[in-house]
């Protein structure tokens, strides 16, 4: 078999990463995009871990028909029952059970003997099998597990009915030759290995997640677990786009295919970055802003003469928009809709109206509106949260010899208007203080980032902030040609999220 099953865990391992909290609508948007990307399996969450995860798995399972929908579960009966509860109406469901296997985990965390773990693994797979056929099992910390014992567990769970066995390098400790060797051991020593699909799940603590995954494929693994932009616990997971493009570009060496529609890669990467707030580093392979940008004169000369001189992949293969500039302030609604369609966005009339209004606002201030600007505008309009307070007016006075002063006016959803002013150590501080005087929701800011969406002095600035309240993190985003205004929008966005969650919890 020369096809690799792509298992995406952006919504589980990726979301688990600190601060990556996504709301239900955002998870569904990502799941829909993963389906268009052609992901075989979507790990949608961990139903027993929280009511939010339970609902997310259920909702994604109801909406997405083109991919297998997987729910993660501890190796305990209640968690498995709960996973099944979330998955029972799904067209193609999978339960993924994990249980520690390494000596380190057994003695310091689980307090169980090897025999007890072996029995539990077998029983839990058998329990899941009473509900559905598609059951995956992961011996956690497999790369630090005694290979002989690992073979025994794998054999036992396949015997109990596991259809996929996943070998995780949970702590990102393995190096390629070693990890490939481990896969080879399993393929050659486990007598019933041919009855299950062998999978790997690699972490990037040593920057080797993709290399380890490819090495495992070389020795017979046929499922890779990965995430968009490589997000995930700590240093993250193996990146989907890197694995897929390595297989495609070096088919001569690997001889393996995936079902991924690579033209959707760039859009998926942008969406995940936008919604999680995890910025993609410019030099990131495949999807970074500089991944296809040639700086050296010799390289530029070569690429102009013949792209193949310095380009191993055509940027269009991963769906990077080819034209960099199309629209300006004279562009009409039709051209706007057309360009969005070319970028892969099909908006409802209502979203289009709002996005077009924002576009006109930007185009008034900025001569050239690029594709990146458009994507930012669209992302902010279609992922808008319901607003408890709307930012109606913000005014700032600051400078080297003045005390930063902000005046804000907010409109509450019932139509009541509030205005206030505050001093701060800087303009952003002053705005936040003025807003706080009106909204009065205690919170602590944990992150503040300003990014320029495009080049040039008139670029749109995008502000990302995270605030924390009662141990929960809320992400807010705002974009504007004025970064102070963008900061105010981002803060309102985070506050509105916080308030909408609080309202659901305490109606
Ligand atoms: Mn993981």
Q: Please give the distance, rounded to the nearest whole angstrom, from the Cα atom of residue 175 to the centre of ligand 1.
A: 17
Question: What are the start-end ranges of the H helices in 94-224?
Answer: 103-105, 114-129, 147-159, 176-189, 209-218
Q: Please give the distance, rounded to the nearest whole angstrom, from the Cα atom of residue 243 to the centre of ligand 1.
A: 16
d(CA 225, CA 318): 20
Q: Please give the distance, rounded to the nearest whole angstrom, from the Cα atom of residue 226 to the centre of ligand 1.
A: 9
3-class secondary structure, 420: strand
Q: Please give the distance, rounded to the nearest whole angstrom, from the Cα atom of residue 499 to the centre of ligand 1.
A: 31
Q: What is the pTM of this model?
A: 0.83
Nearest to 245 by CA among 277, 269, 220: 269
Give the strand pairing for 405-412 and 417-423. Answer: antiparallel
Q: Please give the distance, rounded to the nearest whole angstrom, from the Cα atom of residue 248 to the centre of ligand 1.
A: 25
Give the per-residue SS3 of 283-327.
CCCCCCCCCCCCCCHHHHHHHHHCHHHCCCCCHHHHCCCCCCEEE
Q: Please give the distance, rounded to the nearest whole angstrom, from the Cα atom of residue 502 to the centre of ligand 1.
A: 30
In order of 11, 53, 80, 473, the CA distances from 49 in angstroms are: 13, 7, 11, 17
Q: Which two tokens stand for residue 12?
A: 């589980």
Q: Which two tokens stand for residue 458?
A: 């008139």
- pLDDT tens-digit profile, the chain (507 residues): 799 999 999 999 999 885 557 888 889 999 999 999 999 999 999 999 999 899 999 999 999 999 999 999 999 999 999 999 999 999 999 999 999 999 999 999 999 999 999 999 999 999 999 999 999 999 999 999 999 999 999 999 999 999 999 999 999 999 999 999 999 999 999 999 999 999 999 999 999 999 999 999 999 999 999 999 999 999 999 999 999 999 999 999 999 999 999 999 999 999 999 888 888 998 999 999 888 887 777 877 787 788 888 889 998 899 987 554 567 888 888 888 888 877 777 788 888 888 898 888 888 887 778 777 887 788 777 666 678 999 999 999 999 989 999 999 999 999 999 999 999 999 999 999 999 999 999 999 988 988 887 777 788 888 989 898 887 888 888 888 899 999 999 999 999 988 887 776 664
Element (H, E) at 85: helix 77-87
Residues written for the chain: 507
Element (H, E) at 197: strand 197-202
Which residue is associated with the tokens 């603590």?
205
Q: Please give the distance, rounded to the nearest whole angstrom, from the Cα atom of residue 165 to the centre of ligand 1.
A: 15
**Contact indicator for 136, 95 with CB cutoff of 8 Å:** yes
Give the strand pairing for 472-480 and 461-469. Answer: antiparallel
3-class secondary structure, 401: coil
User: Residue 350: which residues within 8 A CB-CB, separation 6 or more?
Assistant: none
d(CA 106, CA 117): 8
d(CA 201, CA 19): 22
Element (H, E) at 28: helix 24-37
Q: Give the full edge-to-edge strand order of the sheet including 461-469.
A: 444-452, 461-469, 472-480
**Contact indicator for 121, 80 with CB cutoff of 8 Å:** no
Give the strand pairing for 389-397 and 369-370. Answer: unpaired
Q: Please give the distance, rounded to the nearest whole angstrom, from the Cα atom of residue 202 to the centre of ligand 1.
A: 7
**Contact indicator for 390, 373 with CB cutoff of 8 Å:** no
Q: Please give the distance, rounded to the nearest whole angstrom, from the Cα atom of residue 232 to the centre of ligand 1.
A: 7
Q: Please give the distance, rounded to the nearest whole angstrom, from the Cα atom of residue 99 to the centre of ligand 1.
A: 12
Q: Please give the distance, rounded to the nearest whole angstrom, from the Cα atom of residue 2 to the centre of ligand 1.
A: 25
Q: Which two tokens stand for residue 206?
A: 């040593």
Ion ligand 1, residues whose Cβ is below 5 A away: 13
Q: Which two tokens stand for residue 49?
A: 């871990």
Q: Which two tokens stand for residue 392?
A: 């109606």
**Contact indicator for 172, 211 with CB cutoff of 8 Å:** no
| Domains of the chain and CATH, by start | 5-276 (3.20.20.70), 293-382 (1.10.238), 389-505 (3.30.160.270)
Element (H, E) at 342: helix 333-342
Q: Please give the distance, rounded to the nearest whole angstrom, from the Cα atom of residue 345 to the centre of ligand 1.
A: 31
d(CA 414, CA 100): 52
Q: Please give the distance, rounded to the nearest whole angstrom, from the Cα atom of residue 260 to the centre of ligand 1.
A: 22
């Amino acid at each position: 078999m020369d096809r690799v099953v792509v298992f995406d865990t952006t919504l589980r391992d990726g979301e688990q990463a600190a601060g990556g909290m996504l709301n239900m609508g955002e998870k569904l948007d990502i799941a829909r995009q993963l389906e268009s990307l052609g992901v075989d399996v979507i790990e949608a969450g961990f139903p027993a871990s929280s009511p939010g995860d339970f609902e997310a798995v259920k909702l994604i399972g109801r909406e997405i028909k083109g991919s297998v929908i997987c729910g993660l579960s501890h190796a305990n009966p209640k968690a498995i029952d709960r996973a099944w509860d979330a998955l029972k109406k799904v067209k193609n469901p999978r339960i993924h059970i994990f249980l520690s296997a390494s000596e380190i985990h057994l003695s310091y965390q689980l307090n169980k003997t090897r025999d007890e773990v072996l029995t539990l693994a077998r029983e839990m797979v058998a329990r899941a099998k009473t509900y559905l056929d598609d059951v995956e099992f992961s011996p956690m910390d497999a790369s630090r597990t005694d290979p002989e014992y690992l073979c025994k567990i794998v054999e036992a769970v396949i015997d109990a009915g596991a259809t996929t066995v996943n070998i995780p390098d949970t702590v990102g400790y393995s190096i390629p030759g070693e990890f490939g060797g481990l896969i080879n051991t399993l393929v050659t020593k486990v007598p019933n290995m041919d009855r299950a699909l062998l999978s790997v799940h690699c972490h990037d603590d040593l920057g080797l997640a993709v290399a380890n995954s490819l090495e495992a494929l070389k020795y017979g693994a046929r499922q890779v677990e990965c995430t968009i932009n490589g997000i995930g616990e700590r240093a993250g997971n193996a990146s989907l786009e890197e694995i897929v493009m390595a297989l495609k570009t070096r088919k001569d060496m690997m001889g393996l295919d995936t079902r991924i529609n690579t033209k959707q890669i760039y859009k998926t990467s942008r969406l995940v970055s936008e919604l999680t707030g995890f910025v993609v580093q410019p030099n990131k392979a495949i999807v970074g802003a500089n991944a296809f940008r040639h700086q050296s004169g010799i390289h530029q000369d070569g690429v102009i003469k013949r792209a193949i001189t310095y380009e191993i992949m055509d940027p269009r293969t991963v769906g990077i928009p080819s034209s960099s500039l199309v629209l300006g302030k004279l562009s009409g609604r039709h051209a706007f809709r057309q360009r969005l369609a070319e970028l892969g966005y099909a908006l409802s009339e209502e979203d289009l109206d709002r996005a077009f209004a924002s576009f006109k606002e930007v185009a008034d201030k900025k001569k050239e509106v690029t594709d990146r600007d458009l994507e930012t505008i669209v992302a902010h309009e279609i992922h808008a949260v319901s607003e408890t307070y709307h930012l109606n007016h913000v005014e700032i006075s600051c400078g080297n010899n003045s005390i930063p002063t902000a005046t804000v006016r907010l409109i509450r959803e019932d139509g009541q208007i509030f205005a206030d002013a505050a001093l701060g150590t800087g303009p952003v501080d002053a705005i936040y203080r003025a807003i706080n005087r009106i909204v009065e929701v205690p919170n602590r800011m944990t992150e503040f980032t300003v990014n320029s969406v495009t080049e040039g002095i008139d670029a749109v600035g995008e502000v990302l902030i995270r605030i924390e309240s009662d141990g929960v993190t809320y992400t807010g985003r705002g974009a504007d040609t004025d970064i102070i205004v963008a900061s105010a929008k981002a803060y309102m966005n985070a506050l509105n999220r916080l308030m909408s969650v609080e309202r659901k919890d305490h109606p």
